[in-house]
Structure 1
Amino acid sequence: MRRTGPAMAWNFFRFCTALRVLGSVMIVLVLAIAAVTYYAVVIANYGPALLAAGASLRALSPIAVLLPFHFFLVMLLWCYFSVVLTDPGGVPPNWRPHIDEERGETDPLTTSDFNGTNLSLQQAASLASAGHPGIRFCRKCNQLKPPRCHHCSVCGRCVLKMDHHCVWVVNCVGALNYKFFLLFLFYTLLETALVTLSLLSQFIAFFGDGEIPGTPGTLATTFLTFVLNLAFALSVLGFLIMHASLVAANTTTIEAYEKKTTPKWRYDLGRRKNFEQVFGTNKKYWFIPAYSDEDLRRMPALQGLEYPSKPDFDAQDF
């Protein structure tokens, strides 16, 4: 007999393995787009223009394009591979919530439910099933979940402060690489905007009546590069604006949906402190995919396990 009903519902996550394979292809695609862009800007257009200008003042125009182009490209690739190669953060083995000795509280558990390590995983699962407001337990990983941690079905594990799984970087974006991801978006926007503006005149001339120097292959590459970079600039701009609003509110893409049913958000400490929980306090490190040793030592939020809350926050409202 043919099966019908909910049991036959389509399960998207059956294709998680395929998504991981697709991610590997996307890395090659990113490098290919970077290579095509480099050829169109440096080899086909502004490199020859710089050589033709020699030591004259005409060399200032190609230099004004080539210098920031190479800088943004280096930063873009540095941030990109930092996101790809950095573990977003996993739950440490046998993790248990920290007990506040003065207040007699734990987060996310309360002392009445948790006493040292006496709470078994079976008990935690039972409390979670009963809808306990202070406990978070992952049935897929069979472990307790720290605050702001979510399970990624593509990676097959819980990720600290998970924002989303990004196919472009073959990785989750979480607590330990979220800053790198944002910087990747930032430098991608600067790079694609620069390329779009620098090739705009060639794009206009492509549809004009005048003759354009270069082979048909060079012209086609220039045209393709302009269209691709314009499309990426517009899409990344919208994505970056969205994430800037998330950082300002100290939330993630996943938490933004959860907040719709939450009257208060315990982690919103103000824009400055919210920003520092992602980028650190040392301004010298704000624009590079790294943190200072001092920030890593004194800011637990950068490790993805502990997050300060509003002083007047009532746990019952969360």
Structure 2
Amino acid sequence: MTSLRSKVLCQAERICNHLPVFLNTFLVFSITGEVSYLVLVEAPLEAEQQKSEWSGWWKAVHLLSQYFMLANICWNALLFVKTNPSIKGVFLGGDGLGQGWRYCYTCETHTPPRCSHCFDCKVCVLRRDHHCVFFGQCVGFRNYRYFLSCLLFMWSGLLYAVVMNAEVFMVILKEGVTLHSILLLLVPWIMLVSGQVSARAFAFAFIADTCVVGFLLVSAFFFFHLILLCRGQTTREWYSSRRPYSLGLLGNLRHTLGLRWHLCWLCPLIPSPMPGDGIHFQVTGSLEPTR
């Protein structure tokens, strides 16, 4: 009985860990499908424009742009999940232990500076930034490039989707700022259950709301990590106001995104070798927290 119960709990935990990944995947493809429908069917609205050559080029450019962003989001997310940021398979020995090294009693090994244990991943992670709930994996030294690139294209894709869905908000508010239009914008599922809107209107309102909320959340994450990137910090170091590893703007970009930092964001397949090993870091400031 105890064995069955533990198996059920382990299976439930595994499902809960992967649920955010499935939900994010569903939302990304739903938003892409809805925006593609807007481009192909709903816009441009003028009959003369729909038959013109300009309209065909307009649709082709929009479709290429959004599927370029979708491909980058999916590919960066896949490489992020497949790239192991932990100390597994890494030789941590060498010239001896230096300043900042600690002993992890869970992994039963000494760990280098900027490395910490993740209780979700159950392993120590090199240059650990944080555990990403949406991908179910830690952000560390080896996969930070893919994480940041994924955030960049998610941000640009959601901005694009918000602009494309502006027409949806205009149609909803065409009747004026009434209780019906406000409820349709804020809680469209209630309007659907009550039978006051069609399934088509609900789908458009729901995805448009998701685009706005998602854009605000991703904007907060993306610009926060841009600040960390420029300051040469991890999230854990931000909390303690330490900047002992900052090498200047160009140095921080190079040591975080790789030697081809100026090109690697265009495509995850562009190789960008990391100049460090995730174990040894050049110290440029005090290791003691200022607060």
Same fold (TM over 0.5): yes
Partner residue in 2 for 1:48: 41
Contact 1:88-1:159 within 8 A present in 2 as well: yes
For the 8 Å contact 1:84–1:169, the answer to whether it is kept is: yes
> Are 2:74 and 1:77 aligned?
yes
SS of equivalent to 1:141: coil
Q: Secondary structure of 1:235's match?
A: helix
**Does the aligned pair in 2 maintain the 1:196–1:230 contact within 8 Å?**
yes
Structure with bigger RCO (C-alpha 8 Å, 6+ apart): 1
Per the TM alignment, residue 207 of structure 1 is displaced from its structure 2 partner at its CA by 2.7
- Residue 251 (structure 2) aligns with: 273
Query: How far is 1:190 from its partner?
Result: 0.4
User: 2:65 is matched with which residue?
Assistant: 68
Indicate the residue corresponding to 1:195 in structure 2: 161
Residue 282 of structure 2 corresponds to 308
Aligned residue pairs: how many? 257
Structure 2 CA distance for partners of 1:68 and 1:287, relative to 1, 3 Å: same
Q: CA deviation at 1:16?
A: 10
Report runs of 4+ in structure 1 exceeding 3 Å deviation: 15-21, 49-52, 58-64, 91-94, 313-318
Query: Which residue of structure 1 lines up, in the alignment, with residue 98 of structure 2?
Result: 108
In structure 2, relative to structure 1, the CA distance for the partners of 1:73 and 1:292 (3 Å cut) is closer
In 2, distance between residues paired with 1:169 and 1:315? 31
Q: Please list every run of 5 or more consecutive structure 1 residues that lacks an aligned counterpart in the other structure.
A: 1-14, 100-105, 110-133
Q: Secondary structure at the match of 1:158?
A: strand
**Alignment CA distance shift 1:253-1:290 (3 Å):** farther
- Of 79, 102, 106 in structure 2, the residue corresponding to residue 140 of structure 1 is 106
* Cα displacement (A) at 1:59: 3.4
Q: Do 1:280 and 1:291's aligned partners in 2 also have CA atoms closer than 8 Å?
A: no
Coordinate RMSD, CA, aligned: 2.9
* Structure 1 pair 92–255 and aligned structure 2 pair: CA distance change class (3 A): farther
Q: CA deviation at 1:54?
A: 4.1
- Provide the secondary structure at the position in 2 that maps to 1:151: strand
**Which residue identity is paired with 2:79?**
S
Q: Does structure 2 conserve the Cα–Cα contact (< 8 Å) formed by 1:91 and 1:145?
A: no
SS in 1 for 2:263: helix
Counterparts in 2 of 1:123-272, with a 5 A limit? 134-209=100-175, 216-259=198-241, 265-272=243-250
Deviation at 1:290, TM superposition (A): 4.9
- Deviation track 1:222-262 (CA, whole Å, cap 9, x = no partner) reads 21111101111111111111111111111111122233xx5
215-224 vs 77-86, which moves further = 215-224
Task: Determine if contact 1:90/1:158 at 8 Å carries over to the other structure.
Answer: yes
Specify the structure having the higher radius of gyration (Cα). 1
Equivalent position amino acid for 2:271 in 1: S
- Paired position in structure 2 for 1:116: none
Contact 1:19 1:167 in 2 (8 A): no
Query: How far apart, in 1, do the equivalents of 2:175 and 2:149 lie?
Result: 41
| Code of the aligned partner of 1:257 | Y
Moved more, 75-84 or 154-163: 75-84
The TM-score with structure 1 as length reference comes to 0.72
Report percent identity of matched pairs: 23
Report Cα offsets for 1:282-303 as digits up to 9, x if no partner.
233243335636x34xx12xx3
Q: Is residue 27 of structure 2 the alignment partner of residue 33 of structure 1? A: yes
Output the amino acid matched with 2:234.
T
Structure 2: how far apart are the matches of 1:62 and 1:267?
A: 47
| Counterpart AA for 2:213 | A
Deviation at 1:87, TM superposition (A): 0.9
Give the TM-score taking structure 2 as reference length.
0.78
